[in-house]
Amino acid sequence: MTLNNPQLPSKSMTHHHTHEAIQTILAVFRERGHEEYHGEPVSQLEHAAQTAQLAQRGHPDDTEFILAAFLHDFGHLCGTTPEDNMGGYGTRQHETIGARELRRLGFSEKIARLVEGHVQAKRYLVSTDAAYYAGLSEASKITLEKQGGLMSAEEQRDFEQDTLFEWHLQLRRLDEQAKVSGQPVGDLGWLEVLMREHLEPAV
């Protein structure tokens, strides 16, 4: 499928801020990436890396989509207060928290919006595709209820108007696939390179 890339605001950073942003991301994964991915047979880092690898396979030239795939659950690793916790199933509104933090670090609006929309995409798909719901893991079905459950018809129509609608759905489907136990993470250097290319100002 060929997807159109809507024109969204770009980012602008200095080299120093680029380095700081990348080190912040990597430090979070070093400190918390080993944590269980909420009832799934993978860690937070394994899930993030697998999602990025799947995105790279499908869209090798789309740096923003690959980085959004890698960082889509970053908000799970940023929530720290008891109020943020969903009873052992991650961070409440992690998509909003993650998008806010990525904007602060200088990532593009497309990346932030894809991160922000991946929970809504799940709600949309379970509301419109019975096979998708049947394929969800038990943990994903539990978090669905904590994240708002089925979309109303009006919510579905609104979501379909999003200029990144098809991208949201693609990312969500990769999200569900990226839960393979025992798959080595490998070197994250290629993702660090992509982040640097994305964040560094053009020269």
Token reading at 163: 């200029």
Summarize pLDDT for 9-66 with one digit per residue, the tens: 555 456 678 999 999 999 999 999 998 877 788 999 999 999 999 999 999 999 999 9
So what's the pLDDT on residue 109?
97
Q: Which residue has the higher pLDDT, 199 or 37?
A: 199
Contacts (Cβ under 8 Å, ≥6 apart) of 161: none
Distance of alpha carbon 159 from alpha carbon 175, whole angstroms: 18
Summarize pLDDT for 155-195 with one digit per residue, the tens: 999 999 999 999 999 999 999 999 999 999 999 999 999 99
Residue 117's alpha-carbon distances to 32, 69, 72, 159, 185, in angstroms, are: 23, 12, 9, 9, 25
Token reading at 86: 């969903």
Summarize pLDDT for 76-108 with one digit per residue, the tens: 898 666 556 655 555 668 899 999 999 999 999
So what's the pLDDT on residue 1?
47
CA 92 remoteness from chain centre? 14
Question: 73, 125, 68, 67: which is closest to 95 by C-alpha?
Answer: 73
pLDDT surpasses 80 at 130:
yes
Match domain 15-180+191-197 to its CATH number in 3.30.70.1280, 1.10.3210.10, 3.80.10.10, 1.20.1640.10: 1.10.3210.10
